[in-house]
Structure 1
Amino acid sequence: MPDPTTEPAPGDDPAALVTPHVEQPSLWRHGGFLKLWAGETASQVGAQLGFLAIPVLAIHLLAATEFEIGLLGALQTAAFLVIGLPAGAWIDRWLKRRVMILADLVRAVALALVPILWFAGVLDFAHLLVVATVVGVATVFFDVSYQSYLPVLVPRAAIPHANSKLEGTAQIARVGGPAIAGGLLTVVQAPLLLAGTALTYVVSFVALLTIRDTEVPAPKADRRPLVAEIREGVAFVVREPLLRRIVLTTGVGNFFQTIAMTMLPLLVLRELDLGPAVFGLATSIGAVGGILGALMTARLARVVGEGTVIPASALVLGGAVLLAPLMAVVPAAAIPLLIVVELLLSISVLVYNITQVSFRQRICPPALLGRMNASIRFFVWGVMPLGALLSGVLATTVGVVPTMWIGALGTLLSATFVVFSPLLGMRELPAEATAARG
């Protein structure tokens, strides 16, 4: 359930969920947003190349063990646990676009080192772990800034529409990226794909450099001790009852989903020996679900209720993860099952994320956006390195497939926090925080 951003069909603008009787500002004439969108699209394509290249590099070229794969997955997200909370307080003090520019530069340089070391004949697994850690730290700062920058860049009423566009193009990248990566891996080595990923971060870097906005840093006189500012962000998340339920489901779901899905590349590439081309193609076909998710979110919200969409999509996600270990039980159906898993995951994650991210962005005071997003990322992404490490330990002890079953069952059960809540049956989510309503 990563917390994970095609344009909605006519009449499917999620912004209508916020202000249904007001004409929404056009983002097609918003130069800053278009540049942000272009840069983010480029980096999403690169990220999909890396999504397949990194496990192929670790498993095929560096012969990584189950525990090493778990460790690699843990280090990719460990920064959300270690520095996630202070990062949010720092970002609320800094210019968010500047933070994103620096983070893109760091990620580009770190990933470019992999093919350089490989060409020099000295690349080993330890290097991959260091690169994963550095990229993970930069990603914390980029992602928290990114989610906090959007309300600064575009009008508040346009936030859901902007999120839908960003999520939709991310899904288009997920459709084409893995298939391209799988095809390229039949003719080039995995480190070269990471060079391509580095280049896409350079594109994002350049796009962000050209944006002009009116953001100014928070006055130094308004700053308080870091711990007090962090506490304020955490308190906002904890005291909002609906947001608290969403964070519980997302956090617990991410923990168990990470346990299951960390082992998916090992199951597909090593135990079932399907090969990177099949893995990439199946992932791309499944990612079409993301486009469907972006298109159907607003319609689903109107039909079943904006609040109900959240528990419904969480249940579908849990069911999708349950299908993954079935590939080992029915190897002859492994490829169709992989496609179905990826399809359902993409649909459910997009519907879930567009709804809940837009909800939390519109109820949060602007001055708290960085800390709110960082607090949520701490809770829902900070558990992922723990899940990845536990996945490696469990797979070493009981095997890859039993580990995936444990993770899948936990993911499904995580939906109970939102299923047994006021969200189920709610037609519209609140437009402001509980405290603001008194």
Structure 2
Amino acid sequence: MNTLFRNKAFLIVTGSDLLQNLAIWIRNMAILYYVMDRTQGSPIAVSLITVLEYAPIFVFSIIGGALADRWNPKRTMILGDILSALSIVMIIGVLSSGYWQILYVATFVSSIVSQFSQPSSLKIVRRNVKGEHLQSAIAITQSGQSLFLILGPIVGTFIYTAMGIQASMYALLILFLISALLLTLLPKDATQRETNTSLLADIKEGWQYVARSRSLKMLSLVFICIGLSAGLISPLGIFLITERLGLEATSLQFLSGASGIGLLIGGGIAAAVSAKLNQTLTLLVGVLCLAVATMGEVLSSWFWLTLLISFLSSISMAFINVIISTYLVTRIDEHLIGRVNGTITPLFIGSMLLGSSMAGVLMNSTSIFIVYAISVTVMILGIVPAMRIQFRNDQTAPANQLNSEISSSQT
């Protein structure tokens, strides 16, 4: 662990990720509250936020992953932050004229840019962190993101309620610029993959790599189930607060805070013990516990019980995240990380987008209980493909095991 905290590249990338996560949470809370105010709490309008957040991820992650494998990762991440900052400048200008719908563009642009930055961040970590420290590095990154599940909603709610939507946009601008400046301190890396193949050929290579691995195919099915399940309920969290618990919409920050604490603690526990556990069994138990907790959230009519259930469900999610993320980073060749990420991510995002687009309509025509029950059913279906993923506890042989699995599938 001490080795990681002396690793300059890892610390810089982690710091940049934290700044971006804080910016995203400020954006999420500000836009959510503003749209709720403008539309008198329309479920469809709230669902549209999630749709616009994930639609570009579905489209651009395929291209972004392939380009991230070609481009210099340091320059790619810096350019991403600069483009995000420029988009915020444009939004601030238009917002002052009264066209509040421009806020949807902030979500749209940020989602596009992240599809180039995220795989580049993974490549830098993979390139600069030794294999035996990768699982700890991933757990620290997950814990950092969890920290801003706690701080992000609180900071975002405070800025919006105290100073308004304009101040929230200025905060985003400052955070993206600071992140870009921080990334300039990364060690020079002239590495850029030389290739004579077309972009389409690179994308196809990523698809073929996944198609030849049974484990990656099964993991894709798990992602589809979890994505559809999450999409069905992610826009409806605010209605747990306003309808089930009868509280003000701003109380959503406490629910997000409980989730963040659960992910933070769960990530720490997972980092310490997950390598010693049966990975398949841990993933199965994690998904099952998450399904039970999800149903418990909607059945609860007590604020503190809801917070406790949210906390426990997030511990389960932390184990799922660490196991799957470690598998993807350590088992895939470095030069294919972007393309494999760009192959699997659209499946998750596409299913999540489908769920989010149906969430508001389903809730209007049925009830929040029915939507959550459907979500839990889909999540439990993900256990079936999860049982067929071939995990290994040896973290020091990253890609060889997956490559041998791919080779055996061709014979």
**Contact 2:82/2:180, CA 8 A, preserved across alignment:** yes
**Contact 2:18/2:148, CA 8 A, preserved across alignment:** yes
- Of the three residues 25, 36, 40, the one matched with 1:59 is 36
Match of 2:312 in 1: 344
TM, length-normalised to structure 2 = 0.89
Letter in 2 for 1:200: L
Q: Secondary structure at the match of 1:122?
A: coil
**Equivalent runs, 1:157-172 vs 2, <5 Å:** 157-172=132-147
Q: Secondary structure at the match of 1:356?
A: helix
Shift of the 97–427 alpha-carbon distance from structure 1 to 2, 3 Å rule, reads: closer
Match of 1:47 in 2: 24
Segment of structure 1 superposing worse, 185-194 or 250-259: 185-194
In 2, distance between residues paired with 1:306 and 1:92?
28
The structural deviation recorded for 1:261 is 1.9
User: Is the aligned partner of 1:134 residue 2:109?
Assistant: yes
In 2, distance between residues paired with 1:211 and 1:372?
25
Letter in 2 for 1:295: G
In 2, distance between residues paired with 1:239 and 1:358?
20
Which blocks of at least 5 consecutive residues in structure 1 are unaligned? Answer: 1-12, 14-24
The structural deviation recorded for 1:378 is 1.5
Letter in 1 for 2:142: E
The structural deviation recorded for 1:227 is 2.5
The structural deviation recorded for 1:216 is 1.4
The structural deviation recorded for 1:382 is 2.6
In 2, distance between residues paired with 1:90 and 1:43?
21
Match of 2:285 in 1: 312
Q: Secondary structure at the match of 1:187?
A: helix
**Contact 2:136/2:271, CA 8 A, preserved across alignment:** no
User: Is the aligned partner of 1:374 residue 2:347?
Assistant: no
Letter in 2 for 1:323: G
Letter in 2 for 1:339: L
Match of 2:7 in 1: 30
User: Is the aligned partner of 1:210 residue 2:178?
Assistant: no
In 2, distance between residues paired with 1:174 and 1:298?
19
The structural deviation recorded for 1:57 is 1.3
Shift of the 86–435 alpha-carbon distance from structure 1 to 2, 3 Å rule, reads: same
Match of 2:48 in 1: 71
**Contact 2:274/2:319, CA 8 A, preserved across alignment:** no
Match of 2:371 in 1: 403
The 4+ residue runs of structure 1 with deviation greater than 6 A are none
Match of 1:99 in 2: 76
In 1, distance between residues paired with 2:84 and 2:313?
27
Segment of structure 1 superposing worse, 189-198 or 315-324: 189-198
CA RMSD in angstroms comes to 2.6
TM, length-normalised to structure 1 = 0.84
In 1, distance between residues paired with 2:176 and 2:352?
24
Shift of the 391–102 alpha-carbon distance from structure 1 to 2, 3 Å rule, reads: same
User: Is the aligned partner of 1:90 residue 2:67?
Assistant: yes
The structural deviation recorded for 1:179 is 2.5
**Contact 1:66/1:392, CA 8 A, preserved across alignment:** yes
Shift of the 28–303 alpha-carbon distance from structure 1 to 2, 3 Å rule, reads: closer
The structural deviation recorded for 1:181 is 3.0
Shift of the 299–37 alpha-carbon distance from structure 1 to 2, 3 Å rule, reads: closer
**Contact 1:185/1:276, CA 8 A, preserved across alignment:** no
Letter in 2 for 1:78: A
Match of 1:17 in 2: none
**Contact 1:324/1:404, CA 8 A, preserved across alignment:** no
In 2, distance between residues paired with 1:428 and 1:365?
16
In 1, distance between residues paired with 2:19 and 2:105?
24
Letter in 2 for 1:122: G
- Provide the identity percentage: 18
The structural deviation recorded for 1:49 is 2.1
Q: Which digits, 9 at most, give the CA deviation of each residue in 1:264-323, with x for residues without a partner?
A: 224424675522442112321331111211111144425532332222222222222222
In 2, distance between residues paired with 1:72 and 1:402?
22
Shift of the 32–259 alpha-carbon distance from structure 1 to 2, 3 Å rule, reads: same
In 2, distance between residues paired with 1:293 and 1:138?
29
The structural deviation recorded for 1:74 is 1.0
**Contact 2:65/2:115, CA 8 A, preserved across alignment:** no
**Equivalent runs, 1:221-232 vs 2, <5 Å:** 222-232=195-205
Match of 2:381 in 1: 413
**Contact 2:266/2:318, CA 8 A, preserved across alignment:** yes
Letter in 2 for 1:258: G
- Of the three residues 125, 135, 158, the one matched with 1:150 is 125
Letter in 2 for 1:123: Y
The structural deviation recorded for 1:341 is 4.0
The structural deviation recorded for 1:107 is 2.1
In 2, distance between residues paired with 1:63 and 1:279?
17
More helix by share: 2
- Of the three residues 238, 253, 259, the one matched with 1:286 is 259
Match of 1:18 in 2: none
In 1, distance between residues paired with 2:389 and 2:345?
23
In 2, distance between residues paired with 1:111 and 1:227?
31
In 1, distance between residues paired with 2:14 and 2:353?
29
**Contact 2:70/2:193, CA 8 A, preserved across alignment:** yes
In 1, distance between residues paired with 2:293 and 2:166?
31
Q: Secondary structure at the match of 1:324?
A: helix
Q: Secondary structure at the match of 1:214?
A: coil
Shift of the 337–209 alpha-carbon distance from structure 1 to 2, 3 Å rule, reads: same
Letter in 2 for 1:203: I
